[in-house]
Structure 1
Amino acid sequence: MSDPAYLSLEKLRLSYGSTVAVESLDLTIGKGELVALLGPSGCGKTTTMRAIAGLLAPAGGTIRLDGADITRVAANRRQIGLVFQSYALFPHLTVFDNVAFGLRLKGLKGDGLRAKVEAGLASVGLSAYAARKPPELSGGQQQRVALARSMVMEPKVLLLDEPLSNLDARLRLDMRTELQRVQAETGVTMIFVTHDQAEALALADRIVVMREGRIEQIGTPEEIYNSPASRFVADFVGFENIYAIRDGALHGPKGVVPASGDLPPGAVGLAFRPRHVALGSGPLAGIVRGVSFAGGTREYVLEAPFGTVKAEADASLKAYGLGDTVAFDLPVARAARLERD
Structure 2
Amino acid sequence: MSDQTLLSLNNLTLSYGKNTVVDRLNLEIEKGELIALLGPSGCGKTTTMRAIAGLMTPSGGEIVLDGRDVTRVPPNKREVGLMFQSYALFPHLSVFENVAFGLKLKGMRGSDLSARVGEGLSAVGLGDYADRRPADLSGGQQQRVALARSLVMDPKVLLLDEPLSNLDARLRLEMRTELQRVQKANDLTMVFVTHDQSEALSLADRIVVMKDGAIEQLGTPEDIYNRPESAFVADFVGFENIFTVETGKLKGKGEAFTLPEALPAGAKGLAWRPRFVRLGEGAFSGTVIGAAFVGQMREYVLETPLGQIKVDVDASAPAHSLGQQLAFDLRVEDAVILKR
TM range (shorter): over 0.9
What does 1:189-208 align with in structure 2 at a 5 Å threshold? 189-208=189-208
Q: Shift in Å at residue 5 of structure 1?
A: 2.3
SS of the residue aligned with 1:150?
A: helix
Quick one: which amino acid aligns to residue 276 of structure 2? H
Aligned to 2:274: 274
Aligned to 1:148: 148
Q: Decide whether the 8 Å contact of 1:261 with 1:333 is kept in 2.
A: no
Aligned to 2:243: 243
Does residue 171 (structure 1) correspond to residue 165 (structure 2)? The answer is: no
Distance 1:100 1:258 in 2: 66
Aligned to 1:302: 302
Aligned to 1:262: 262
Q: Decide whether the 8 Å contact of 2:248 with 2:258 is kept in 1.
A: no
SS of the residue aligned with 2:104?
A: helix
Q: Shift in Å at residue 260 of structure 1?
A: 4.9
Q: Shift in Å at residue 137 of structure 1?
A: 1.2
Distance 2:88 2:145 in 1: 10
Q: Shift in Å at residue 3 of structure 1?
A: 3.6
Q: Shift in Å at residue 256 of structure 1?
A: 2.3
Can you list the C-alpha shifts for 1:276-326, whole angstroms capped at 9, x where unaligned? 111122221111111112111111111111100011001111111111111
TM-score normalised by L of structure 1: 0.97
SS of the residue aligned with 1:127?
A: coil
Aligned to 1:90: 90
Can you list the C-alpha shifts for 1:6-55, whole angstroms capped at 9, x where unaligned? 10000111011222111111111111110000000000000000000000
Quick one: which amino acid aligns to residue 134 of structure 1? P
Aligned to 2:109: 109
What does 1:5-16 align with in structure 2 at a 5 Å threshold? 5-16=5-16
Q: Decide whether the 8 Å contact of 1:208 with 1:219 is kept in 2.
A: yes
Gaps of 5+ in 2: none
Can you list the C-alpha shifts for 1:45-80, whole angstroms capped at 9, x where unaligned? 000000000000111110001111000111001000
Quick one: which amino acid aligns to residue 160 of structure 1? L
Q: Decide whether the 8 Å contact of 2:274 with 2:310 is kept in 1.
A: yes
What does 1:45-124 align with in structure 2 at a 5 Å threshold? 45-124=45-124
Does residue 133 (structure 1) correspond to residue 139 (structure 2)? The answer is: no
Distance 2:226 2:285 in 1: 26
Distance 2:103 2:306 in 1: 62
Pairwise CA RMSD: 1.1
Does residue 323 (structure 1) correspond to residue 323 (structure 2)? The answer is: yes
Q: Decide whether the 8 Å contact of 2:25 with 2:215 is kept in 1.
A: yes
Does residue 232 (structure 1) correspond to residue 228 (structure 2)? The answer is: no
Quick one: which amino acid aligns to residue 23 of structure 2? E
SS of the residue aligned with 2:181?
A: helix
Quick one: which amino acid aligns to residue 221 of structure 2? P
Q: Shift in Å at residue 129 of structure 1?
A: 1.5
Q: Decide whether the 8 Å contact of 1:260 with 1:332 is kept in 2.
A: no
Q: Decide whether the 8 Å contact of 1:260 with 1:330 is kept in 2.
A: no
Can you list the C-alpha shifts for 1:212-247, whole angstroms capped at 9, x where unaligned? 111111000011011111111111111100001111
Q: Decide whether the 8 Å contact of 2:249 with 2:259 is kept in 1.
A: no
Distance 1:195 1:201 in 2: 11
Quick one: which amino acid aligns to residue 239 of structure 1? F
SS of the residue aligned with 1:175?
A: helix
Quick one: which amino acid aligns to residue 119 of structure 1? E
Q: Percent identity?
A: 65
Quick one: which amino acid aligns to residue 30 of structure 2? G
The count of aligned residue pairs is 339
Quick one: which amino acid aligns to residue 108 of structure 1? M
Distance 2:47 2:252 in 1: 36
With over 3 angstroms needed to count, the CA separation of the structure-2 counterparts of 1:315 and 1:260, relative to structure 1, is: farther
Q: Decide whether the 8 Å contact of 1:229 with 1:337 is kept in 2.
A: yes
Aligned to 1:332: 332
SS of the residue aligned with 2:298?
A: strand
Distance 1:323 1:112 in 2: 72
